[in-house]
Structure 1
């Protein structure tokens, strides 16, 4: 498995196609949630993913401060169905947090978490900062991470 992180401008067309394919497979098809997947935030994001051959098996995007929130943010977190349950999601998030702190020199990270994943994000140091709200028909909670 190979880990990669690239700014949008550094992705080649095959990488971008595979990333979008996996995001649509998980967030639109698997979760039965039709919504506009291409939201223009990708342009101001770093794309962190694990690839096995040409297949993206874990992915998230790191959005620069001022785009979604005042803080840097993490979104579109996914692990391919065949690779879930083996700690890949935790490794993905830990790599993202490390990149944001060390490379981007940011000490706060905000995300919109699906409610069923609250314990997972809390275990990584995120704290709930909002009430539950619906985003595309799915219960979410805003969470914030602050470096120690």
Structure 2
């Protein structure tokens, strides 16, 4: 029996616990029973609004953003074969910020709603390509 056998179920349980905790926390006090009823669609309209329109989307966005950051760090570490590599140290974040600033400065963000995030993604990809090109090949 290996140690990794319980890794995926443990991660799933941890994610579910984190999502439930994020739905419970907020400026409006919401006990677990009312939160569960709101999640199932049987709660008061105010509770359902708070859970479905504010807390759950916020928790899911944090989950997706955290997962993407973790995956990008792991991908860079694998690509460069360096356990200390991460986007901030390598300049990927700075290049993304530069491209986003250029999109703001030249008015591209006002023309198209997705111009700013697309410019940031293009900058991050450009920086990653430059790093991959400059990395020593073994």
Mark the structure with the bigger radius of gyration: 2
- Of structures 1 and 2, the one with the larger relative CO (CA 8 A, separation 6+) is 1
> For this structure pair, what is the TM-score category when the shorter chain's length is used for normalisation?
under 0.3
Structure number having the greater helix percentage: 2
What is the TM-score when the length of structure 2 is the normalising length?
A: 0.24
